[in-house]
Amino acid sequence: MELKKWTYEEFPEYQNDELKVLDMTGEETGSVYLNDVEYCDAWGTPLHLQIMIPHKRNYAMEKRPCFVYVQGSGWKKQRVHAGVPLIARMADRGYTAAIVEYRHSGIAHFPAPIVDARNAVRFLRKNADQFFIDPDRMILAGSSSGGHTAVYGGMWHNDDTDENLFPGVSAEVSGIINYYGSSSFMFDYCNPSTPNHLKADSPEGLEAGVDLSENEEMRRKMSVECNIDESTVIPPVLIFHGTKDRTVHPECSVRMYEQLKKTGHETDMYLLKGADHGGPEFWDEKVLAIADEFMQKCFKK
């Protein structure tokens, strides 16, 4: 055989009639994982992405839609690597998937995670060729505190401010997926398992930098449903929440969903029966299919 740089099409297929051969279609899917890709230095704090690029023989080099996911953490330091196996299921469906690290509450307060998430979108859009991304097909998603971040990230609109570390690059997305987001602080049982709920040393209090139990203005500023009206510019929002969520009460998502509907915005919501605060249920094939269909509709708008 000649030694040269063969193309896939040119290379002669090996055959051996004495061995078993498994037929393959070329449609089998997997992903390439790029860990700890620095996307910005946020005012002295380097921040990173975990990026999973879908790989399949027939479209290895194609540009794919992008699923930008903000890992929840109660606004404390995230365990971004822990989410890779589940988020990779989006890569298996053909999305370049990226897990966003944000500045945690020990470093910076609200709205720092929102600013960071939007800069992550900009970095991915600016480097779309490198990561095989279609910059016109991007979704911002997140879970728990990351869900709160993703929803705000879709309506913050700070492209023309100093918060934009990539001037001239937009952070706008086609849609938002909120997985059991900690989106409201306006009722007593928002966080049923947090004894110090709203206090200065609670997760939400540390993120706010104040005692929220004594600061209604800040509670309203951080509660999604209080910041959505008919004039709000926000892409379609899909919401998933477990019926047995002991950390963020489902009512948080219901209030956001009802406010979006009331003010004429496109939204849909699914309760996952028996699901707690996260878990494999949210990455089950039924849920993935709903999310996939939602995203494809968003890209057609």
Condensed to tens digits (0 to 9), the pLDDT of residues 208-251 reads 999 999 999 999 999 999 999 999 999 999 999 999 999 999 99
Task: Give a yes or no: residue 12 inside a domain.
Answer: no
Of all residues in the chain, the percent with pLDDT exceeding 70 is 99
Where in the sequence is the domain holding 56, given as residue range(s)?
34-299
Task: Give a yes or no: residue 48 inside a domain.
Answer: yes
pLDDT for the residue 185? 97
Task: Give a yes or no: residue 264 inside a domain.
Answer: yes
Domain count, the chain: 1
Asked if pLDDT for residue 2 goes beyond 80, the answer is yes
Going by C-alpha positions, the residue among 173, 222, 168, 170 that lies closest to residue 69 is 173
pTM for the whole thing? 0.95
**What's the chain's length in residues?**
301
Q: What residue type is 149 in one-letter code?
A: T
d(CA 149, CA 16): 56
Average pLDDT over residues 241-264: 98
Residue 57 banded pLDDT, cuts 50, 70, 90: confident
d(CA 29, CA 294): 21
pLDDT for the residue 28? 84
Task: Give a yes or no: residue 135 inside a domain.
Answer: yes
Asked if pLDDT for residue 111 goes beyond 90, the answer is yes
- Kindly report the CATH number assigned to the domain that includes residue 203: 3.40.50.1820
Asked if pLDDT for residue 40 goes beyond 60, the answer is yes
The mean-pLDDT minimum among 1-10, 236-245, 283-292 falls in 1-10
